[in-house]
Structure 1
Amino acid sequence: MLMVDELRRALGRMILASAIALVTVLPPMALGGDVLVLDTVIRGGTVFDGSGASGTRQDVGIVGDRIVAIGDLSSRHAGRVIDATGLAVVPGFVDIHSHAVRSSAADSGLFRFPDAESYIRQGVTTAIGGPDGGSWLPVSGLIERLEVTPVAINFGTFVGHNTVRAEVMGRVDRAPSGTELAAMRGLVAAAMEDGAFGLSSGLQYIPGAYSDTDEVIALAAVAARYGGIYITHMRHEGRQLLDSVNETIRIGREAGLPAQVTHHKAMGVSMWGKSVDSLALVDAALAEGLDIGSDVYPYTASSTGIRVMFPSWALEGDRATREARFRDPDTRQAVLDGLVDNLANDRAGDDLGRVVIANCSWAPENNGKSLGELLDERDIPRSLEAAAELVLELELGGTCSAIYHTMDEADVIRFMQHPTTMIASDGGVVMPGPDVPHPRNYGAFARVLARYVRDLDALSLSDAIHKMSALPADRLGLLDRGRIAPGAFADIAVLDPETVTDRATFDEPHQFAVGVRHVLVNGEPAMLDGELTGNRPGRPLRHGQTTLAAASEPENGPVATRPLRVLFAGNSFSFYNNGIHTHFRNLLRSADETWVASSSVKMSTISGGTLAQQGPALDLLLEQYDWDVVVLQGHSREPVDPERSAVFSSAAVELSARVRAAGARPVLFMTWGYRDQPDMIEPLSRAYLAAAESAGADVAPVGWALDAARKALPGTDFFAADGRHPSLAATYLAANVFYARLVGSSPEPLGYDAGLDPETARALRQLAWQAASANHEPFGEH
């Protein structure tokens, strides 16, 4: 029988073979000693780690895609040395609200200009798309595109409520039926399983404006199950600002997830100063124990399509329907009345110069001109009524986007200074062209450092860096980005805090920022000495994919071993709580960081999938990667379902054979009895043990461990609300069972607790070891 000692010996053989292979695979390892030769060292700079702490004079050492050492590295050899004397070394900035990718590749700046120069020259290394309710669908399509189309920055996405609603219902102004709501919830769940970071909404846009709060709560609750966040372009940012903030707080409260007001603003002259009241609502929610935050861009003007000025009812339906509505005399007048109201109170006030056309693709001669200037060209007296007629004409001609100078800088600063507020651009990847876009596309992050740190002293340098790096990274669960720390990905910008400046203006927006000297993305230089390298080292990001390595470089250099390569193939029982692979990887790192690399532990899941359904994806992953262990997990009921058990057993034999043929060891993931069916574990365990014996596979007895934990810790809830899926405690327990079973040693001494109560976590590690090391018979000889 393959028991714990044999597992330990097998792992030792793997490590020995890996150490021999390492001479050729990892040439940076010094052969004559135990000190790692660095790929890159950044010397002599003032390092700001992203936490908000003041900068300190240190060196930063990088191997591969990770930071491995910080301190005095003057005696260390490196393949590349970057002199940062007199400069700030900061985490690569994280843009949580990016339009770099739009609904198609042809319209997406990141795919048109994959060097992402407008971002790189600001020090931005990571961006998250899918804001304002609009995203790619399915999300897997975007991830696959990013995997085959190298770009310079890391990119992830939210799933957009408007996109989901339009997919199911179109542009109709009504509530969804029960069937339609279920379909929308299914699309959100699929997007979250594909790696979306949460749900975004654009409740001021169509068709999101047609939804009520309960609909949004129902969809946000799906994102909550996967640990996602809710980020919203609120229903109103002008006169009904406070009602909209309250709606956002309610959605966060009732859906049970962090909620974020994106581009928090007080729009319209009559609302200037209302940042005080809006932030008071945020503070009250925080005091209640809710997780409510904001982001802001550092400008007093916004930018979006001119349709935002129309009454939402006027935009229902397709283009032909809308145009017929606009040409009907009675309806047309109602539309014009709505436009006058919006211009007067939100977008222009008493100055038609506040609304400036950014891009009219069908009439580019309008670009850069205000509504007032366009009326002047036509010898039409300036009035709100005339401006409304002009806006309707522009919409009928093919629509346009515009810039709206409607905010007060005192409000911008007040929002920016709030401790929960991070910086975001609401821009994208752009290059010079005939349009006159918002300068935030070129300068948002640089402008914070130039105007609000250096010129106005509204933020300290360390606070500004925190708001552009670790704060948004933590919001997204990207614990290994947005910071300079051992184990973090080497996303780093080196800049001159005295000269970094945004050059883009509203009159001349197509100007790159200056003052950033070097940018590294995943350890590779995207810019050196102010020149783009042409490297495109960015990666697609999936929610729950990444974790911060727990240990720094060992005192005498890292151990000369390669990582343990493990694939988890399962369904939502594996995916819940950011994925069992995340927690297993953290446990490995807590023991020895050399056992883990950025892609050495992966997960492939099919929502509701059976074991047999894992076959196609498994074949692809076996072909693309070399694995040491492949974990196979079927549907929670199929091993004990009389109609499916034979198919389960057959699939276990077939898939295990494929795994062994690829040079890996198959391990079956024994699941558990449901909350209301604890006795289910007995037939379930018999089925898994029998399948393992037939398949020549090992078994990780998670079900046994959970059964023991339910008895030993009756006060701990091991189930999600449905009574079947795992709570965080159950996923953590399962990860520890796999650690014990695969590594062959007890996880009890490890320091990783997944944020659980330390005593509970310690007890779960003990129970995992007991279950994994017990001599359960039969355990499958092979």
Structure 2
Amino acid sequence: MAETTQRVLILDVETVDGESPVDVLVEGGRIAALAPAGVLEAEASAIEGRGRLVMPGFVDAHSHAAALLDDPGVQLAQLRQGITTVIAGQDGVGPAPGDGRYAAEYFAAIDGRHRGSAGGGIGALLAAADGTSPINVAALVPAGTVRFEVMCRATRAPSAAELAAMVALVREGLAEGAVGLSTGLDYVPGLFASTDELTALARPVAEAGGVFVSHMRGGYESGSASGIAELTAISRGSGAPIHVSHFHAEPHLVLGLLDRLEADGIDATFDAYPYGRGCSLLGMPLLPPEISVLPVDAQLARLTDSAERERLLAEWFPTIVDYPSLGPDWPAMLTFAHIGAPEYDWAHGKTVAEASVTARRTPAEFALDVLVASRLEVNVVMAVRTERRDADLARILAHPAAMGGSDGIFVGRHPHPRARGTFARYLELLVRDGSLDWVRATGLVSSRAVDRFALGDRGRVRPGAIADLVLVDPDRVGARATYDDPLATAVGIDDVLVGGIPVLAGGELTGEAPGRGIRRASRPTERQEA
């Protein structure tokens, strides 16, 4: 990373292991010294710690914010949670490699419109993050995008030449600094990839010391066992360690499957956000894959054809009741978070069932109307049949293989609260109820992800470490975003440094942009339990 000559002295703070009060001197973008309060003397800008905790910058291991980090509102929402680094390219979809058209079209309602990297690969994506925002960006090679670049919209297995071309793209992305490979096996075209294909793509990941990150196949919840079985086969066949994205199911199922992975000798970690509901594209459960894989204009032609629409309503929509986590009450379980068509602004925050009554349409007809009017750019908050309680979430997140991942989606007028609340809620939910102490909480929100994804000298408060630092008020930290008020920013984190530069001061943005594209460290840092 680029060095800075700015010197900052953080006064009167406490470390997570209970050492207090201490002062922290930051110089040249790194922690220069820690000493008992009053010992250090330096000509430096001062930040009054007032007894707050000093923690390493938080890492969002599953982020959809990278394309939006030039938005001050998104910056503020992240930094008020202590997030200093995001890992992008999730769910098998991203703007690199290739020209970015597939990601921009298919995932616009999740990632927004990507900037600065189209056609330039992972290297250009990371370069575009240098000095353009206050937050660091690491990236995964997205397997769905790789498949699209080689096979376009084909739903068949790849030929030997096509598979070799995909492997080459993965290897190229890793060489340019990607921290691993991601899959989205409920999205197109990823859902058409076989276990053998994914295993082949995972081999260069293992060779490079990266991680195979997966949005598993089968909708989680009751389908988690089959998803874990597939990841086990991929890890055994490739040698790659695995990371399970947003691992949500009943605690006994999650914890039992993690025990099975450990017993089988599989190197596995996971992320999970501290909320019971999900959020995704409306079209994912509502449209069959043979339609979703088509270009937008071709999909719209199908959805506006009267015969095709009648077929969908009569034959496809009745099968939605079997979609994992939804069931026959699906219209009441999907709340509009983002609708691309301005004429449907009034439906934001309403369920499909509620909005369809206002529109005097059946829920299925109304959902199709909104998808067509929005050119498919719609996302929804998804309730589940049995919403997990805080105690259940705490049991999962206290696991030593867990790390913080918000899956936060910033696109939309009524988004899921996880985008603005996840990391503050971790601390509020887990530390205050005694599930974790501050040392283990640091592992959850920072150091485990740094070690797992080889993010360099971050993740710990010690001399020589890169000075991505967060000051936390342990009595006040918490999330304010709720399902009814999802835009409220977190509280209790008012001062944040990235690369030794204050980027949040007194709860406000400083306007500095020291964030960098983080290239995977050539040698992963020694893994330690924080």
Query: When the two structures are superposed, what TM-score results if normalisation uses the length of structure 2?
Result: 0.86
Give the aligned residue type for 1:92: G
Once residues 438 and 337 of structure 1 are traced to their aligned partners in structure 2, the CA distance between those partners, rounded to angstroms, is: 31
RMSD: 2.5
Instruction: Name the structure 1 match of 2:39.
Output: 75
Q: Quick check: 363-372 or 325-334, which moved more?
A: 325-334
Once residues 523 and 87 of structure 2 are traced to their aligned partners in structure 1, the CA distance between those partners, rounded to angstroms, is: 15
Once residues 350 and 151 of structure 2 are traced to their aligned partners in structure 1, the CA distance between those partners, rounded to angstroms, is: 37
Instruction: Map Cα deviations across residues 93-133 of structure 1 (whole Å, 9 max, x no partner).
Output: 011111112xxxxxx21134498111111111111100000
Question: What is the CA-CA distance between 1:159 and the residue it aligns to?
Answer: 0.7
Once residues 123 and 156 of structure 1 are traced to their aligned partners in structure 2, the CA distance between those partners, rounded to angstroms, is: 16
Q: State whether structure 2 residue 475 is matched by structure 1 residue 493.
A: no
Instruction: Name the structure 2 match of 1:66.
Output: 30
Instruction: Name the structure 2 match of 1:353.
Output: 332
Instruction: Name the structure 1 match of 2:234.
Output: 251
Question: What is the CA-CA distance between 1:136 and the residue it aligns to?
Answer: 2.5
Once residues 453 and 75 of structure 1 are traced to their aligned partners in structure 2, the CA distance between those partners, rounded to angstroms, is: 31
Q: 2:89 aligns with which of 118, 130, 139?
A: 130
Question: What is the CA-CA distance between 1:416 and the residue it aligns to?
Answer: 1.2
Question: What is the CA-CA distance between 1:440 and the residue it aligns to?
Answer: 1.4
Question: What is the CA-CA distance between 1:499 and the residue it aligns to?
Answer: 0.7
Question: What is the CA-CA distance between 1:311 and the residue it aligns to?
Answer: 2.9
Q: State whether structure 2 residue 451 is matched by structure 1 residue 483.
A: no
Aligned length: 489
Question: Secondary structure at the residue paired with 2:123?
Answer: helix
Question: What is the CA-CA distance between 1:313 and the residue it aligns to?
Answer: 3.0
Q: State whether structure 2 residue 414 is matched by structure 1 residue 436.
A: yes
Task: Within 5 Å, give how 1:84-103 maps onto structure 2.
Answer: 84-101=49-66
**Contact between 2:223 and 2:324, CA under 8 Å: does it hold in 1?**
no
Instruction: Map Cα deviations across residues 565-602 of structure 1 (whole Å, 9 max, x no partner).
Output: xxxxxxxxxxxxxxxxxxxxxxxxxxxxxxxxxxxxxx
Question: Secondary structure at the residue paired with 1:314?
Answer: helix
Q: State whether structure 2 residue 269 is matched by structure 1 residue 293.
A: yes
Q: State whether structure 2 residue 93 is matched by structure 1 residue 116.
A: no
Question: What is the CA-CA distance between 1:465 and the residue it aligns to?
Answer: 2.5
Give the aligned residue type for 1:261: V
Question: Secondary structure at the residue paired with 1:146?
Answer: coil
The 1:100–1:514 alpha-carbon spacing in structure 2 relative to 1, beyond 3 Å, is same
**Contact between 1:110 and 1:429, CA under 8 Å: does it hold in 2?**
no
Question: Secondary structure at the residue paired with 1:119?
Answer: helix
Once residues 240 and 26 of structure 1 are traced to their aligned partners in structure 2, the CA distance between those partners, rounded to angstroms, is: 49
5+ long unaligned stretches in structure 2: 97-120
Question: What is the CA-CA distance between 1:365 and the residue it aligns to?
Answer: 2.2
Once residues 395 and 73 of structure 1 are traced to their aligned partners in structure 2, the CA distance between those partners, rounded to angstroms, is: 59
**Contact between 2:336 and 2:350, CA under 8 Å: does it hold in 1?**
yes
The 1:329–1:419 alpha-carbon spacing in structure 2 relative to 1, beyond 3 Å, is same
Question: What is the CA-CA distance between 1:199 and the residue it aligns to?
Answer: 0.2
Question: What is the CA-CA distance between 1:280 and the residue it aligns to?
Answer: 1.6
Q: Quick check: 90-99 or 137-146, which moved more?
A: 137-146
Query: When the two structures are superposed, what TM-score results if normalisation uses the length of structure 1?
Result: 0.59
Question: What is the CA-CA distance between 1:479 and the residue it aligns to?
Answer: 4.3
Question: What is the CA-CA distance between 1:478 and the residue it aligns to?
Answer: 2.2
Q: State whether structure 2 residue 202 is matched by structure 1 residue 225.
A: no
Once residues 458 and 337 of structure 1 are traced to their aligned partners in structure 2, the CA distance between those partners, rounded to angstroms, is: 47
The 1:483–1:348 alpha-carbon spacing in structure 2 relative to 1, beyond 3 Å, is same
Instruction: Map Cα deviations across residues 51-107 of structure 1 (whole Å, 9 max, x no partner).
Output: xx5565433222211112223252221212222232111111011111112xxxxxx
Instruction: Name the structure 2 match of 1:374.
Output: 355
Question: Secondary structure at the residue paired with 2:8?
Answer: strand
Give the aligned residue type for 1:438: H
Once residues 146 and 419 of structure 1 are traced to their aligned partners in structure 2, the CA distance between those partners, rounded to angstroms, is: 31
Question: Secondary structure at the residue paired with 2:212?
Answer: strand
The 1:485–1:428 alpha-carbon spacing in structure 2 relative to 1, beyond 3 Å, is farther
Instruction: Map Cα deviations across residues 414-460 of structure 1 (whole Å, 9 max, x no partner).
Output: 32122101111112567xxx711111111110111223332x44433
Question: Secondary structure at the residue paired with 1:240?
Answer: helix
Instruction: Name the structure 1 match of 2:404.
Output: 423
Instruction: Name the structure 2 match of 1:531.
Output: 508
The 1:248–1:82 alpha-carbon spacing in structure 2 relative to 1, beyond 3 Å, is same
**Contact between 1:478 and 1:546, CA under 8 Å: does it hold in 2?**
no
The 1:240–1:57 alpha-carbon spacing in structure 2 relative to 1, beyond 3 Å, is same
Once residues 49 and 5 of structure 2 are traced to their aligned partners in structure 1, the CA distance between those partners, rounded to angstroms, is: 26
**Contact between 1:246 and 1:281, CA under 8 Å: does it hold in 2?**
no
Task: Within 5 Å, give how 1:237-636 maps onto structure 2.
Answer: 237-266=220-249, 273=250, 275-309=251-285, 310-326=287-303, 327=305, 329=307, 332-333=310-311, 337-343=315-321, 345-349=323-327, 351=329, 352-362=331-341, 363-379=344-360, 386-397=362-373, 398-399=375-376, 400-406=378-384, 407-409=387-389, 410-427=391-408, 435-454=413-432, 456-544=433-521
Give the aligned residue type for 2:127: E
**Contact between 2:157 and 2:193, CA under 8 Å: does it hold in 1?**
yes
The 1:368–1:344 alpha-carbon spacing in structure 2 relative to 1, beyond 3 Å, is farther
Give the aligned residue type for 1:329: A
Question: Secondary structure at the residue paired with 2:421?
Answer: helix
**Contact between 2:20 and 2:36, CA under 8 Å: does it hold in 1?**
no
Which structure would you say has the larger RCO, counting Cα contacts within 8 Å and 6 or more residues apart? 2
Q: 1:158 aligns with which of 131, 137, 140?
A: 140
**Contact between 1:122 and 1:514, CA under 8 Å: does it hold in 2?**
yes
Instruction: Name the structure 1 match of 2:9.
Output: 41
The 1:304–1:247 alpha-carbon spacing in structure 2 relative to 1, beyond 3 Å, is same
Question: Secondary structure at the residue paired with 1:520?
Answer: strand
Once residues 248 and 328 of structure 1 are traced to their aligned partners in structure 2, the CA distance between those partners, rounded to angstroms, is: 41
The 1:335–1:230 alpha-carbon spacing in structure 2 relative to 1, beyond 3 Å, is farther
Give the aligned residue type for 1:42: I
Q: Give 1 or 2: higher helix fraction.
A: 1
Question: Secondary structure at the residue paired with 2:327?
Answer: coil
Once residues 378 and 40 of structure 1 are traced to their aligned partners in structure 2, the CA distance between those partners, rounded to angstroms, is: 57
Once residues 306 and 360 of structure 2 are traced to their aligned partners in structure 1, the CA distance between those partners, rounded to angstroms, is: 26
Once residues 354 and 411 of structure 1 are traced to their aligned partners in structure 2, the CA distance between those partners, rounded to angstroms, is: 21
Give the aligned residue type for 2:311: Q
Identity %: 34
Question: What is the CA-CA distance between 1:316 and the residue it aligns to?
Answer: 2.8
Give the aligned residue type for 1:366: A
Give the aligned residue type for 1:251: I
Once residues 547 and 66 of structure 1 are traced to their aligned partners in structure 2, the CA distance between those partners, rounded to angstroms, is: 19
Q: 2:165 aligns with which of 163, 173, 183?
A: 183
Instruction: Name the structure 2 match of 1:146.
Output: 129
Instruction: Map Cα deviations across residues 307-362 of structure 1 (whole Å, 9 max, x no partner).
Output: 21033233232234334444363785357544333345535335433210111111
Question: Secondary structure at the residue paired with 1:47?
Answer: coil
Question: Secondary structure at the residue paired with 1:346?
Answer: coil
Instruction: Name the structure 1 match of 2:193.
Output: 211
Instruction: Map Cα deviations across residues 519-560 of structure 1 (whole Å, 9 max, x no partner).
Output: 011111111222221111111100125876xxxxxxxxxxxx
Once residues 459 and 313 of structure 2 are traced to their aligned partners in structure 1, the CA distance between those partners, rounded to angstroms, is: 46
Once residues 182 and 26 of structure 1 are traced to their aligned partners in structure 2, the CA distance between those partners, rounded to angstroms, is: 43
Give the aligned residue type for 2:463: P
Once residues 436 and 315 of structure 2 are traced to their aligned partners in structure 1, the CA distance between those partners, rounded to angstroms, is: 42
**Contact between 2:468 and 2:500, CA under 8 Å: does it hold in 1?**
yes
Once residues 409 and 19 of structure 2 are traced to their aligned partners in structure 1, the CA distance between those partners, rounded to angstroms, is: 29
Question: Secondary structure at the residue paired with 2:91?
Answer: coil
**Contact between 1:325 and 1:332, CA under 8 Å: does it hold in 2?**
no
